[in-house]
Structure 1
Amino acid sequence: MAFYRKCDTGSGGEHDRVRNKSIILLSAGHACVDVYQGSVAALVPFFVAERAYGYAAASGIVLAASLLSSVAQPLFGALTDRWAMPWLLPVSTFLGGLGVALSGVLGSYAWTLVFVAVSGIGVAAYHPEAARVARIASAGRHTAMGWFSLGGNLGFAVAPLLVAVVVGIGGLRWSPLLVVPALVGSVLCLPVLRALHRPARTGESAACGGTDDWRSFLRLSAAVVCRSIVFVGLGTFIALYAQQRAGGGARAGSVALFLLYLGGAVGTLLGSRLADRWDRVTVVRWSCLGTIGALAGVVFVPGPLFYVFTVLTSAGLYVPFSLQITLAQDYLPGRVGTAGGVTLGLTVSVGGLASPALGTLADHTTLQVALMPLIVLPALGWLAIRTLREPGQLRPLRTEAGWLPARSRG
């Protein structure tokens, strides 16, 4: 599938081929990195089984990786706003894999926390710079950015299967094999770095010209926070809830999780297509409203329709995913790295922090009652962006590579 229209000249066609290849490689590399975002939680049952960790200790491992990563991403974003650092892509990819690979080697809980924290720092360092480079390669086109985002979704979804195969067979002592995706991802970054052939100059970035619109950016971030709480909450509890609503035991939970991830992949690509027909803000608004009804179906409708509403909810949550990244970058054209770091990192951590509150509510009531508040959040997200305006058309991108002739979106 071509991400860009072909140019009439040979030079333009060559630009298109370079960009297409770069987006494909960046998407695959994104998948390799986000494997490690999903691997830490997937390793927790094995830590509990082999090392007899309690629930508090197990949750500490997840927090060490996710919270540190989420808070550090905006910091790395600020750094990439000052200096272009494409070399961070292979280095951070390897660091993310190395930490997870070493987490099962030593029996010490303290060292386990250190290693998963190292992995979290690697993930944090990757995303802002990867989003900046993807913006260069995509020339601001929604479909290409959707493919980049899809790579991360697939990597996160594959993580539990990878951990189950490797650690499920050989135990935690086989965890060093989990470094393989990081090695592959680091190699995939190298052709992209070669495409960025000119030395980076301070202050030169993929940002469009214009004034930073912090007010719009913060309102968009509020909508992203609402989306994060809903998705992380569903991801945490939907397997248990599926057993209550659809029957079928553990198999029902596995099916629900698979559909949650599948709907996310479909929604990511659908969102970029819809944004090519309508503007991004309109698509994000309508996805918020559509998610309200779909999520209500997940909470209240029993039987086989539960799975249909799960797919619809996941798609609704992911339709705006890549669009929110590009919108954030366009609202802060002078701070593209910061925009990517906040959108991909800091706002996501709120979802992880909210899940224990949902669990506590479920312990004192029922799981259905605990999930009811999630229905309100897409409505709050819609209110936050109700009067947002679409940023102006992208101006010609100034890049280190000279890849991108000026193009209009379409």
Structure 2
Amino acid sequence: METQSATNGKQATLKTGFYPKALYTYSGTHFLNDLVTTGMIPALVVMYKEAFSLTYTESTLIVLVSYLTSSISQPLFGMISDRKPRVWFFALGLFLSVAGLALTGIAPNLFWLLFFIGISGLGSGIFHPEASRGTHFAAGNKKGLAQSIFQVGGNAGQAFGPLMIPLFLVYTGIEGLIWLLPIAFLSLFLTVPLLKWMKTSVQNYQVKKKELPGENHIWGSILLIVVILLRSWCQVGVVIFLPFYLSHLTLQQSEILNFIFVGAGALGTFFGGVLADKIGMKRLMVSSMMIATPFALLFPHVEGWLMVIVLLLFGFSVLSSFSVSVIYMQMLLPKNLALASGLSIGFGIGAGGIGSVLLGGVSDLIGVSTVFTILSVLPLIGAILAIFLPNEKKLVF
């Protein structure tokens, strides 16, 4: 379906309703962005630690800088975009996230390594609010399906990120990361053609926003952020510390296990969105993290194929509320869609990476095994808090 919209005195064609071409572009770019940021950076900590002779605490500073720059910047750029459309953030953000990581391949010391990691995190922070809001416009009336497709792209990127280590970087070393730089430039061919449609969509939404009946639910948004943070802390902690915990395995083997965990989470993200349409978002969030708890508790005590099965079920359940939490936040903040995206994808998820620094200190003092004990209770706490979220049926969206 197409409509004509007047923009700066010119007639612009705007596709409305479900727009698959745009939706799959957002999903594909989300794959690439999260492949290099939340996928590869945590998995590269082991290699960075060896290359720069870092302690556990110094190693987790890498993740801290990545997630801190992303988590702080996403809500900020979301608020900026809500006030005045800057759809070119979509293209610029993806370029910086890939280019920043590529430049770590030639970093001479820890300072420059952290600087380039910060550039990559900042790019991710710029990218997400615009991409998620664009997904909202491309969804039509299929919000749950669209957001699941978008988030599956990102989660798939997180899953394949660790696989880049055994398939490529083990043979090239961290110097091989510089070969990501051409991909950063190629990403512009994906993002730039969509900017005109995005600009028209946002301008139309800006006009209609004042007529929306829903009001922002501040306390509900804060509680949802805490739930997302706990889920993220658990997810990021597993990805970072799994290679250290399974030190008896090769780096390739441990990264394949990371792929299983995050890959199962990508499947959970999609099916969680479908299931939420039937049982409700709040019920899905509570039950998924409750179900994840026994698998988290069981994982440190199993070996072999049983460990693989438990890890798969753990990842599937704990991340099945991923896409749902984004839609939930948009329902709680209907007046600020970009801010809602920045908070749910950026601040809530990115701030979870900050907890990895605390876990790094715990590892240095007590041991890596204690970290997994801490991680195992986080989904349970999140499930209990999610019980007190506002009922989505009472929210106007």
Task: Please give the range of the TM-score, normalised by the shorter of the 2 chains.
Answer: 0.7 to 0.9
Deviations 1:239-275 (A, max 9, x none): 344567xxx6656534421210221111011111102
Quote the offset at 1:192 in angstroms.
Answer: 2.7
Quote the offset at 1:55 in angstroms.
Answer: 5.0
* Distance across 2 between alignment mates of 1:44 and 1:202: 44
Quote the offset at 1:305 in angstroms.
Answer: 2.0
Whether 1:19 and 2:23 are equivalent positions in the alignment is no
Unaligned runs of 5+ in 2: 4-13
Quote the offset at 1:176 in angstroms.
Answer: 2.9
Q: Residues 267-346 of structure 1: matches in 2 within 5 Å?
A: 267-346=268-347
Quote the offset at 1:289 in angstroms.
Answer: 1.4
Quote the offset at 1:165 in angstroms.
Answer: 5.3
* Distance across 2 between alignment mates of 1:104 and 1:20: 36
* Distance across 2 between alignment mates of 1:315 and 1:228: 14
Residues 60 and 229 of structure 1: CA distance in aligned 2, closer, same or farther (over 3 Å): closer
The correspondence for 1:204, drawn from 203, 206, 219, is 206
SS at the partner of 1:210?
coil
Aligned to 1:72: 73
* Distance across 1 between alignment mates of 2:55 and 2:381: 36
Q: Residues 92-171 of structure 1: matches in 2 within 5 Å?
A: 92-139=93-140, 141-162=143-164, 167-171=169-173
For residue 335 of structure 2, what is the amino acid of its counterpart?
G
* Distance across 1 between alignment mates of 2:208 and 2:313: 34
More helix by share: 2
91-100 vs 310-319, which deviates more? Answer: 91-100
Aligned to 1:218: 222
SS at the partner of 1:104?
helix
Aligned to 2:10: none
Deviations 1:21-79 (A, max 9, x none): 11111100111111221333444455455555555554433332221121111111111
293-302 vs 82-91, which deviates more? Answer: 293-302
Residues 80 and 369 of structure 1: CA distance in aligned 2, closer, same or farther (over 3 Å): same
For residue 271 of structure 1, what is the amino acid of its counterpart?
G
Residues 184 and 18 of structure 1: CA distance in aligned 2, closer, same or farther (over 3 Å): farther
Aligned to 2:8: none
Deviations 1:275-301 (A, max 9, x none): 222211111111121112222221344
Residues 44 and 58 of structure 1 are in contact (CA less than 8 Å); yes or no, is this contact kept in structure 2?
Answer: yes
SS at the partner of 1:103?
helix
Residues 61 and 357 of structure 2 are in contact (CA less than 8 Å); yes or no, is this contact kept in structure 1?
Answer: no
145-154 vs 41-50, which deviates more? Answer: 41-50
Residues 174 and 357 of structure 1: CA distance in aligned 2, closer, same or farther (over 3 Å): closer
Residues 145 and 349 of structure 1: CA distance in aligned 2, closer, same or farther (over 3 Å): closer
For residue 317 of structure 2, what is the amino acid of its counterpart?
G
Deviations 1:338-379 (A, max 9, x none): 111111122223432223433444555554443223333222
SS at the partner of 1:135?
helix
Residues 136 and 206 of structure 1 are in contact (CA less than 8 Å); yes or no, is this contact kept in structure 2?
Answer: no
Aligned to 2:381: 380
Aligned to 1:405: none
Q: State the number of aligned residues.
A: 382
Residues 64 and 116 of structure 1 are in contact (CA less than 8 Å); yes or no, is this contact kept in structure 2?
Answer: yes
SS at the partner of 2:392?
coil
SS at the partner of 2:381?
helix
* Distance across 1 between alignment mates of 2:317 and 2:70: 26
**Alignment RMSD:** 3.1
Residues 366 and 23 of structure 1: CA distance in aligned 2, closer, same or farther (over 3 Å): same
Residues 85 and 199 of structure 2 are in contact (CA less than 8 Å); yes or no, is this contact kept in structure 1?
Answer: no
Residues 81 and 186 of structure 1: CA distance in aligned 2, closer, same or farther (over 3 Å): same
% identical aligned pairs: 26
19-28 vs 94-103, which deviates more? Answer: 94-103
SS at the partner of 2:206?
coil
Residues 206 and 73 of structure 1: CA distance in aligned 2, closer, same or farther (over 3 Å): farther
Residues 253 and 132 of structure 1: CA distance in aligned 2, closer, same or farther (over 3 Å): same
SS at the partner of 1:196?
helix
* Distance across 1 between alignment mates of 2:356 and 2:192: 38
Residues 234 and 378 of structure 2 are in contact (CA less than 8 Å); yes or no, is this contact kept in structure 1?
Answer: yes
Residues 75 and 10 of structure 1: CA distance in aligned 2, closer, same or farther (over 3 Å): closer
* Distance across 1 between alignment mates of 2:371 and 2:56: 20
Residues 213 and 103 of structure 1: CA distance in aligned 2, closer, same or farther (over 3 Å): same
SS at the partner of 2:348?
helix
Residues 182 and 32 of structure 1: CA distance in aligned 2, closer, same or farther (over 3 Å): farther
Residues 295 and 313 of structure 1 are in contact (CA less than 8 Å); yes or no, is this contact kept in structure 2?
Answer: yes
TM-score after normalising by structure 2: 0.84
* Distance across 1 between alignment mates of 2:102 and 2:110: 15
TM-score after normalising by structure 1: 0.82
Whether 1:40 and 2:41 are equivalent positions in the alignment is yes
Residues 209 and 334 of structure 1 are in contact (CA less than 8 Å); yes or no, is this contact kept in structure 2?
Answer: no
Residues 36 and 142 of structure 1: CA distance in aligned 2, closer, same or farther (over 3 Å): same
For residue 234 of structure 1, what is the amino acid of its counterpart?
V
Quote the offset at 1:230 in angstroms.
Answer: 1.3
Aligned to 2:28: 28
Quote the offset at 1:394 in angstroms.
Answer: 6.4
* Distance across 2 between alignment mates of 1:80 and 1:137: 17
* Distance across 2 between alignment mates of 1:29 and 1:295: 31
Deviations 1:148-187 (A, max 9, x none): 0011112222233446655544445543321243334332
For residue 381 of structure 1, what is the amino acid of its counterpart?
G
